[in-house]
Amino acid sequence: MNRLLKIYTQCRKLPLGNRIFSWMVCFKAPYFKTIRPLFRELKPGYCEITMKNRRAVQNHIRSVHAIAMCNISELTAGSMLEATLPGSMRWIPKGMAVEYLKIAKTDLNATCEISLDNPDSPQELPMTVHVTDAKGIEVFRAVITMYISKK
């Protein structure tokens, strides 16, 4: 189990453990604090994070701003990849292609899931993040290309 998963597992044992872990991630990478993410699940190959639709993340039509959805997408994909890769590997986003599918008027849920065949080899890996609204309707999709290399 890598360091991120160890911390996540330890936090989950505590009251409000998901909130504590989410706060710790935002302390390490402060920009993510802008969306106030809440980790729901994190394991090798899977991550799920939610965010509230609140004024600070809204655009001029009171829907969730596109960049807030990009933000939760990058956090979801990056956290999942960090939990999946062996400690000898690192990742960095190389690019992101996004699709705005519906207006996002509710709280949001972002998920990313992959099956990584060869986690020890340098590669470019496209990862799809699905963002759904409170009714489970996909409102946003991001394909984030991650560059994986040795540390």
pLDDT digits (tens, 9 = 90+) for 51-71: 999 999 999 999 999 999 999
Within 10 Å of residue 140's Cβ, how many Cβ atoms? 24
Start-to-end CA distance of the chain, whole Å, equals 17
Mean pLDDT of 90-101: 97
As a whole number, the mean pLDDT across the chain is 96
Query: Which segment of 29-33, 49-53, 108-112, 119-123 scores lowest on mean pLDDT?
Result: 119-123
pLDDT in tens, 2-44: 899 999 999 999 999 999 999 999 999 999 999 999 999 999 9
pLDDT tens-digit series, residues 67-83: 999 999 999 999 999 99
Q: Are 41 and 47 in contact (CB under 8 A)?
A: yes
Q: Please, how many CA atoms are within 13 Å of residue 59, restricted to the half-sphere of its CB?
A: 12
Maximum Cα–Cα distance across the chain: 45
Query: Does pLDDT of 1 surpass 80?
Result: no
pLDDT at 93: 96
Residue 69: name the closest of 33, 113, 109 by CA. 109
- Residue ranges and CATH numbers for the domains of the chain are 3-150 (3.10.129.10)
Rounded Cα–Cα distance for residues 125 and 110 (Å): 18
Question: Whole-model pTM?
Answer: 0.94
CB count within 10 Å of CB 106 equals 16
Look at residue 86 and tell me whether its pLDDT is greater than 80: yes
